[in-house]
Structure 1
Amino acid sequence: MECSEAELAEIAAIRAEGASIALDDFGTGFSNIARLRAMPVDRVKLDQTLIADIETSEEARVVVQALVHLIKGVGCSIVAESVENAAQADLLRAMGCDSVQGYVYAGPMSENEFLSWSAHHVPASRSAA
């Protein structure tokens, strides 16, 4: 989140060439909501610490919903990281997250494992898929 104007210009130039820019782990550490509107990004990935309690904590849901509105308001799409189960995925989709990733679909795997998995995987019947 802390970039010089020259670095921001370089990122914007890369984006203008057709690259899609994502901001990872948003919501913790050096995240700065005010700075988000000036960043040349297309996608924001919500940090796993924001997702962990959304099934059981109203406060967690309120925070995630507010971030979804803010991020959508600056024109970015949203990816929720480390989604563990279908209930979390369903909540995130209902809140407006564009994509979810995590163990709800599959664990980490090598390229060869992924190619094999994707060739044989039949999506489960989930409202989040």
Structure 2
Amino acid sequence: MLNDKGVYDALGRVAESRLRNTSVEDIVAVALAVWHEGFVPDVSWAKKLNPTSQRVVGYALEFLAGFNVLCHEERECLLSFSNQLRSADIPYVEPDPHRDDLATDWGLKHDITPYFEHLSHFQTRHYGHNSEYKRPSPNFVL
């Protein structure tokens, strides 16, 4: 089980990196916390970040919310969080066929896809994560 401070620290480093040369350990820690421990950051924590870091965090959580390892309620909480970070003045970034469209929508030049090989085996409901976390429902997103 991961502690919240460790997850916040990892997410903060991911945000500061702007997804360039991001620590695999940090990305994995955030994904595990989101997918298997019900972690959703506090909006007030995220609002203290600079605008670019807020976009990275919003994108990362929206990206992670897109996997069916989550139940419907968990996904909705993550999307609600991300929507609260979306601002009207997202800078335009030229689309790139090698970048996730969602990252482009968030005005980011880098995305999570280069790290996905380190995450893919955790995004299954069959992954055996040791935690006392109980999902709010058995209704997984399909």
TM category (shorter chain) comes to 0.3 to 0.5
Q: Which has the larger radius of gyration?
A: 1
TM-score in terms of structure 1 length: 0.34
TM-score in terms of structure 2 length: 0.32
- Structure with greater strand percent: 1
